[in-house]
Amino acid sequence: MKLHTSLDHLGSVIVGHRIGGQTVPGEERLELADPARVARLTGSPDGGQDWIDEAVAVARAALNGQWRATKPVERGRLLTAISRAIAANEDRIAAIETLCMGKPLKQARGDVRTAARFFEYYAGVADKIEGETIPLGQGMLAWTELEPVGVNAQIVPWNAPLAMLARGLAPALAAGCTVVAKPAETTPLSALILSDICTAAGLPDGVLNIVLGGRDTGAALSGNADVDHVTFTGSVAAGKKVMASASQHLASVTLELGGKSPLVVLRDADLDRAADGVVRGIFWNAGQICAASARLIVEAPVAEPLLDKVVERAKRLTLGHGLDDPDLGPLASKAQFHRVGDALVQAERDGDTVLLGGKPAEVTDLPGYFYPPTILRTRPDSQASRREIFGPVLAVSEVPDAAAATELANDCDYGLVGGIYTRDMDRALAFARALNVSQVFVNGYLAGGVETPVGGRKDSGFGREKGLRGLQAYLSTKCTTVTFSE
Ligand code: NAD
């Protein structure tokens, strides 16, 4: 029943680029599939260079046209209207997101609410983007204005398609930018619905444009010389290419490239609370989140009791079709399924011990890409404890004390987020200061919301998203100095 209704929702989306307020159909070149049933859902065009160039030209014209003339307060009102319309479409968008990406429906609903919240949050900012005056003394006056950075490219991943697009789009629009977005090739439909919502809410034509396609289309977008800022979320390898091509025309970039985030549990922690945080942190969205707590670092005296609690909770997690609202859906694609499988083969080679899971899961009547919650006790240099897997795989390491925990937490190529569970606030705050990441969670992994900034250090990239800091990438400071007789 749910599947039937969801397929009806799917049929309500016209699959085609959205450029200048028009729907542009194209030849079907890409397939969208339900990763739980391994069944084709629909086809999608691959825009390539020509449609990217067209969309960027349209975005440039819109930037210099009606959008520039739209007052900040009106931009804010538009964002409010978009937020409300996203919330009103929650059932439809969440069902489509689940069908294309696999995640449990309640998590897809959470993503839709987060997307609505991004627009609500940045709606309140649009008319408060204020400059400053600079004292230069008699006969001189200087002030700054924060102008939109220009045409913004959003290259979007597949793990939370609508929420990730909203995370960049809402501040870009609040700042007065125009946007060309390229959703991930496997999950583009929620972006199309969002574009239609924006048009219906009154966003002027050309302010938001969506070009469908794969990595070559993404490369054409980051390489377009008329793009001023590129916002990219995805793999390190693709992020480096995006940065290299943006550098050819000196566009600025925000790169959010994932992580291998440490979660430390000290001997004095509330172990039930910590176990809840560990399980949520790594098995939410089947581990396919950039901030997943993929490395559990635990003080040796509490390792066994903590692992008992984590394993017991993980065993209770259910798998199934996302529309049936299990705890874990399938992995998002065949490629992702193989990525996790390869990582587990490597873990065996490295001598890691499987405490739970470790093999693909059989789910009745569903041939899809399922992996169960997997827990590995890892050896110090094993790849499973260092490389991002982006699946439901927890790598556990034991350490003798808090100092060793901090050292191991920092011994990583990535630097996105990290967490700690302890009742000792001195230790918690010392850890927070010492950890080389952008966001730290104390006694509540992944607490916070659209207000709290996050971004990369080291291989996790750079730039900040969310919160007021997340607006900065979309603004360019201009200083005007006047000399006058006084
Ligand atoms: P990917 O980086 O290949 O794709 C992400 C987005 O970038 C997609 O829209 C894709 O079409 C586009 N893209 C790919 N290559 C590009 C290029 N050269 N130029 C411009 N755009 C390009 O990610 P993936 O293959 O789908 O997943 C691989 C890994 O990426 C995962 O294992 C995970 O480590 C990481 N990932 C991270 C996040 C995150 O939230 N940080 C999200 C998704 C994937």
What local confidence, expressed as pLDDT, does residue 380 receive? 78
Residue of 404, 324, 276 whose CA lies nearest to 95? 324
Cα–ligand 1 centroid distance for 219 (angstroms): 12
Q: What's the whole-number mean pLDDT along residues 423-437?
A: 98
| pLDDT attached to residue 1 | 53
Tell whether ligand 1 has an atom less than 6 A from the beta carbon of residue 387: no
Mean model confidence pLDDT for the chain: 97
Give CA–CA dist 129/40, Å, rounded: 45
Q: How far is the CA of 333 from the centre of ligand 1 (A)?
A: 13
Domains of the chain, first to last: 3-257+462-478 (3.40.605.10), 262-449 (3.40.309.10)
> What spacing in Å lies between the alpha carbon of 234 and ligand 1's midpoint?
3
For atom 41 of ligand 1, which residue has the closest CA? 258
State the Cα–Cα distance between residues 303 and 267, nearest whole angstrom.
8
Mutate to test the pocket of ligand 1, among 30, 167, 235 (most ligand atoms within 8 A of CB): 235
Higher pLDDT, 380 or 92: 92
Task: Give yes or no for residue 241 CB within 6 A of ligand 1.
Answer: yes
Please report, as a single letter, which amino acid is at residue 110.
G
Would residue 256 show up in a list of annotated catalytic residues for this protein? Answer: yes
pLDDT value at residue 2: 84
pTM: 0.97
Written as one letter, the residue type at 484 is F
H-only helix segments in 411-460: 425-434
pLDDT above 90: percentage of residues in the chain: 97
Does the CB atom of residue 465 touch ligand 1 within 6 A? no
The answer to whether the beta carbons of residues 249 and 153 sit under 8 Å apart is no
Catalytic, out of 120, 185, 256, 388: 256
Find tokens 């959010």 and name the residue.
256
Would you state the structure tokens that stand for residue 109, as one six-digit string? 């609903």
**Residue whose CA is at the smallest distance from ligand 1 atom 33:** 235
Could you read off the pLDDT of 285-321 as tens digits, one per residue? 999 999 999 999 999 999 999 999 999 999 999 999 9
pLDDT recorded at residue 4: 87
Structure tokens at 14: 């016209």
Three-class DSSP category at 356: strand
Q: Tens digits of per-residue pLDDT, 347-376?
A: 999 999 999 999 999 999 999 999 999 999
Q: Distance between CA 347 and CA 376 in Å, rounded?
A: 8
What is the phi-psi region of residue 278: left when phi exceeds 0, alpha when psi lies from -120 to 50, beta otherwise? alpha
What's the Cα-to-Cα distance from 203 to each of 81, 176, 208, rounded to whole Å?
10, 12, 8
Q: Is 77 in the pocket of ligand 1 (CB under 6 A)?
A: no
Please compute the mean of the pLDDT values over residues 454-482 and round it to a whole number: 98
Region 43-52: mean pLDDT is: 97
Residue 112, pLDDT score: 98
